Amino acid sequence: MGKSASNALDSDGISTLKYKIEDEEGRPLYTWLKARLPPAPARRKPNMWEQARGKLWSGMSGLAGGFGEAVAKKAQEFAAAREEKEEAQRDHVY
């Protein structure tokens, strides 16, 4: 099977899949098949530009994720403090 420029398969591969049926069992609603598939093709090693892009994205994700976590933590602290303040201001009847 050929691959496109985006490294995606050009076709689904169902019609061109090579396999060997090893076992078959008929069930009332379906047929169970055990098949042997060929080994997966070797992965292509990313070139220099793809490696650099991957490192850049992982660095940006880490930076953005850390910033997002800090904002979320501050928002939770603010909400908890506000709830405590509102609770203290309510009239309680016991």
- Reported for 68-72, long-range contacts at CB under 8 A and 24+ positions apart, including other chains, are none
Q: Are 53 and 47 in contact, with CB atoms under 8 Å apart?
A: no
Q: What is the pLDDT of residues 18-38, one digit of tens each?
A: 889 999 999 999 999 999 998
Q: Which residue shows structure tokens 């099977």?
A: 1
Tokens of 39: 């080994």
pLDDT tens for each residue of 38-92:
888 888 888 988 888 888 888 777 777 777 788 888 899 999 999 988 888 877 6
